[in-house]
Amino acid sequence: MTPINQPHTVVWPEADGEWGVGSKVGGRGDPIGLGVLIRRDGLHAVAVNLDGDVLEDSYRMRPLGPEQPVPVEQVVDGIGALVAELLDRWPSDRGEVVVGLGVAVWGHVNLAGEVVESPALGWRQVRLPELLTAATGIDDVLVHHDVSALALAEQSFGVGRERSSFAVVTCRWGLGCSLVLHNELVRGDDGAAAELGHVVFDPDGPDCSCGNRGCLEMLATPKAVVERVRGAGLAHVESPLEVVDLARAGDETALAALRSAETMLGRGLALLTNLVNPGLVVLYGQPEVLGAEPYREATLTALRRSSFPTRHCDVVIKPNADQMAARGVASEVLQLVAEPSPARSGLGSR
Ligand SMILES: [Zn+2]
């Protein structure tokens, strides 16, 4: 098995007119990368070309069962089935060839692509690359943390085309972060860099799944807003949008919860700004919540007040993180395999 972070040569198949995996099947044609996002509730798959374009009607979802931990073999078999479906349905005269599979997954993924721990899936030390190669026949499998996959997407066909340094922050039920500095994805010693969501901001705050208390994701997320208003007597509230609606109607509890969460989010972004000066944060979440007032203004005010005075950081809010993550990791594996270069080879997972 060729390590994907080493430059290597792809051998194209001889025959024309078939769509297939690597050199096993098919004809000479444009290389295609597949990407799969593993979520707690399902698998999202996408196929992209070298420009990062999502190819027609190739975005799929395959729901997972309710078990916790999610059985590894169920996910591996599900990805194998998704890949087989994509290959079966593709027009045989197009001649594209699948050269790699990228996978984005919640949790700590080390530099070898092993899932060290994923609390959401209940996984520890799962060697996905080897399992997925066996299930799909695709030799080059790249596994990344899901927020790193978003950063790779932004780098390839988003804000990264114009910026060499930026941060991606996801703020939904959890708070994830990934950094691109000087055109390089920051992965750290063991793939666990930029864990902004688990910086402790209030040692007396709510218990976190990581074992600490008062981590940023327990204070700044829409989930934290819902839990705060439920704890303050609004037990019927189930979604962050309900809290926004209540705040707009003048409910003081909802207003206070939103202002508190967004002040904490702004301080978290200021921490990034003071440490690594990203210049831009792409904030993935629900725009109707993160962009609502007073949510948005409280974030920006706290960001300004907590940042070193000469630092500036723009914030843009984006929805639809799932397809973007799958697209990012698909594009990354495709570029690593089809266009290996020293500049990009260091980004590989194994
Ligand atoms: Zn934590």
Query: How is 235-288 classified by DSSP, letter by letter?
Result: TT--SHHHHHHHHHTT-HHHHHHHHHHHHHHHHHHHHHHHHH--SEEEEES-HH
Distance 168 CA to ligand 1 centre (A): 18
Q: Looking at the structure, do residues 171 and 225 belong to the same domain, yes or no? A: yes
Assess whether pLDDT exceeds 80 at residue 88. Answer: no
pLDDT, residue 297, reads 87
User: What's the gap in Å between 128 CA and the centre of ligand 1?
Assistant: 25
Of 202, 250, 205, 258, residue with least CA distance to 229: 258
Residues 175 and 140 in one domain: no
Q: 212 and 262: one domain?
A: yes
Domain-located, residue 128: yes
Which 8-state DSSP code applies to residue 196? G
Neighbours of 143 (CB within 10 A): 31
Kindly report the CATH number assigned to the domain that includes residue 174: 3.30.420.40
| Whether residues 182 and 299 fall in one domain | yes
Residues 191 and 257 in one domain: yes
Same domain membership, residue 307 and residue 178? yes
- Look at residue 95 in the predicted model and tell me its pLDDT: 66
- Residue 9 pLDDT: 26
Question: 186 with 145: CB under 8 angstroms?
Answer: no
Q: Are residues 250 and 208 in the same domain?
A: yes
In a domain, 184, yes or no: yes
Higher pLDDT, 25 or 144: 144
| 332 and 257 in a common domain | no
Rounded Cα distance, 74 and 151, in Å: 27
46 CA distance to ligand 1 middle (Å): 31
In a domain, 259, yes or no: yes
- In angstroms, what is the span from residue 201 Cα to ligand 1's centroid? 10
Task: Kindly indicate the confidence band of residue 343, based on its pLDDT and cuts at 50, 70 and 90.
Answer: very low
- pLDDT, the chain, mean: 85
Decide if 57 is inside a domain. Answer: yes
Q: 158 lies in a domain?
A: no
Asked, for residue 152, whether it belongs to a domain, the answer is: no
Question: Domain range spanning residue 67?
Answer: 20-145+322-345
Do β-strands 280-284 and 184-185 pair in parallel, antiparallel, or remain unpaired?
Answer: unpaired
Task: Report the pLDDT averaged over residues 212-230.
Answer: 96
242 alpha carbon to ligand 1 midpoint, in Å?
Answer: 26
CA of 214 to the centre of ligand 1 (A): 7
Question: d(Cα 163, Cα 154) in Å, to the nearest integer?
Answer: 10
> Are 170 and 293 part of one and the same domain?
yes
Which tens digit of pLDDT belongs to each residue from 233-242? 999 999 999 9
Contacts of 151 (CB under 8 A, 6+ apart): 160, 166, 168, 178, 179, 180, 185, 328
Specify the number of domains making up the chain: 2
Contact 280, 166 (CB under 8 A): yes
Please give the distance, rounded to the nearest whole angstrom, from the Cα atom of residue 77 to the centre of ligand 1: 31
Query: Are residues 308 and 329 part of one domain?
Result: no
Domain assignment present for 240 = yes
Q: Do 82 and 184 share a domain, yes or no? A: no
Question: Is 154 within the bounds of a domain?
Answer: no
* Cβ neighbours around 145 below 10 Å, total: 30
Q: What are the start-end ranges of the H helices in the chain? A: 72-89, 128-136, 146-157, 222-231, 240-248, 252-276, 287-290, 295-306, 321-338, 342-345
Q: What are the distances in angstroms from CA 174 to CA 171, 223, 259, 319?
A: 6, 8, 18, 15
Q: What is the pLDDT, as a whole number, of residue 177?
A: 97
pTM for the whole thing? 0.86
9-13, 93-97, 245-249: range with highest mean pLDDT: 245-249
| Cα–Cα distance for residue pair 5/7, rounded to 1 Å | 7
User: How many whole angstroms from 212 Cα to the centroid of ligand 1?
Assistant: 5
On the question of pLDDT at 292 being above 90, the answer is no
78 and 123 within one domain: yes
213 Cα to the center of ligand 1, angstroms: 7
